[in-house]
Amino acid sequence: MTLGRRGAVAAGAGLVLALAGRPAAARAEESAAEGSARPRTLFIAGDSTAAQKYADAAPETGWGMALPFFLHRETAVANHAVNGRSTKSFLDEGRLAPITAALRPGDVLLVQFGHNDSKSTDPARYAAPWGSYQDNLRVFVEAARSRGAHPVIATSVERRRFDAAGNAQRSLGDYPAAARAVAAASGTPLLDIEALSLALWQRLGPEATKTYFNWTATEQDNTHFNPPGAIEVARLVARELLRTRVLAPRETRRLDDTVPTRWITWPPAPPSAS
């Protein structure tokens, strides 16, 4: 049975209360001891920019597909990002519940939403940046902590948008600032992928960035990535995970190395993919 948003929060509530009864230092020591006993897993909760893509979508590539290339092979990636989801729809569909159930002490839950939260004409997905979007991010943070895992908030990766003078433009409204505010207030590590990707697109320029996004003979997609773009965004994510000390140096690799695009593969879509 799939739990919705309330079920996911309620499932962790008892754990939160139990953990709160012990000193913070003791809880941290227990979490570190349990986490060090096994390789940890990095879970991704997000939208189509990060999601696994299948053969019918190639060459479209989510950055989550490329992230394992930059992590030590013992650090597993569990990519739960799904096309088209916002914080609201992801929670309403009960997609946090299986993540929460699978989290173990020391694991990482990386949360990146914003593109679809801004769809104000779609009540199933819209979450106001300074309201329910922030509330929803806090649900992810609390769920991770209830399991002894480490929450991480990432601002959304920027789209490819340039003005007539060739300057990369912001397109995500108040959502990056709202995510930064939640991270700061909750003491959650922040990966500012919006700012870093915007700077990357600016360095590359309007023409070169076409090879990073899903531009094909039949499509001009300025939101989703081709393999080169997914690889470079994943590199940004891995570097930020190291900079913020979410991951240790021994858990990362190839941060400055060329990663061949042929390493990206698109498996057949499973029957349940949605």
**By three-state DSSP, how is residue 73 classified?**
coil
pLDDT at 258 over 80: yes
Q: Quick one: pLDDT at residue 96?
A: 98
3-state secondary structure 173-208: CCHHHHHHHHHHHHCCCEECHHHHHHHHHHHHHHHH
Q: What confidence category does residue 271 fall into, taking pLDDT thresholds of 50, 70 and 90?
A: confident
What is the mean pLDDT of the segment spanning 224-235? 98
Helix extents (H) in 77-164 = 87-92, 96-102, 132-146
pTM of the entire structure? 0.86
- Per-residue pLDDT tens over the stretch 150-204: 999 999 999 999 999 999 999 999 999 999 999 999 999 999 999 999 999 999 9
β 213-215/220-225 pair status = antiparallel
List pLDDT tens digits, range 25-45. Answer: 334 434 444 444 478 999 999
Residue 157 DSSP class = P
Express each pLDDT in 36-88 by its tens digit.
Answer: 447 899 999 999 999 999 999 999 999 999 999 999 999 999 999 999 999 99
Question: What is the per-residue pLDDT for 183?
Answer: 98
CATH topology of domain 5-252: Rossmann fold (3.40.50)
Helix 227-243 × helix 193-208 angle, to 10°? 150
Residue 272's pLDDT is 73
